[in-house]
Amino acid sequence: MKWNLRLAAANRGIWKASELRRMLAERGVEMSTGKMSGLWSGQPNVLRPEELDAFCAVLGCEISDLITAEPEKVPAASPAEQEASTAVGQGVFATGSTRAVTPKPRSGRSLPPR
């Protein structure tokens, strides 16, 4: 994930974190100086949905202007993870075909209580 707060703010003529913090306070979102500094200068560790909405309202932007997905940075899944992610009841065979699993016949056990 790439955090673009400074770019989104600069596109709207906001150059200081203190100015953005004041504008957020006018919208009812009080943010500490330390948290605002962290959001302004780096990646957020925690960001509440209300804060994200307030940033979008103050900056007149969309969430996609503030956050850019970077799926290419996620490591590829290991073969074990790929097998675990196969849908339940499906198996992949050496030929690449899939086959649905059929239930076994009942063995005379009673049904669970309702």
12 in any annotated domain: yes
Question: Is residue 36 situated within a structural domain?
Answer: yes
For residue 17, give the CATH number of its domain. 1.10.260.40
Residue 32 lies in a domain: yes
**Nearest of 25, 12, 19 to residue 60 by alpha carbon:** 12
User: Along the chain (114 residues), what's the average pLDDT of each consecutive run of 10 residues?
Assistant: 92 94 92 91 87 93 92 83 57 61 70 76
Q: Is 93 among the domain residues?
A: no
Domain interval for residue 18: 2-68
Residue 84 falls inside a structural domain? no
For the CA atoms of 90, 92, 95, 98, the dihedral, rounded to the nearest 10 degrees, stands at: 20
Q: Has residue 52 been placed in a domain?
A: yes
Query: Per the structure, how many domains does the chain have?
Result: 1
Domain-located, residue 77: no
The pLDDT of residue 85: 59
- Whole-number Å distance between alpha carbons of 101 and 114: 26
pLDDT at residue 20, as a whole number: 95
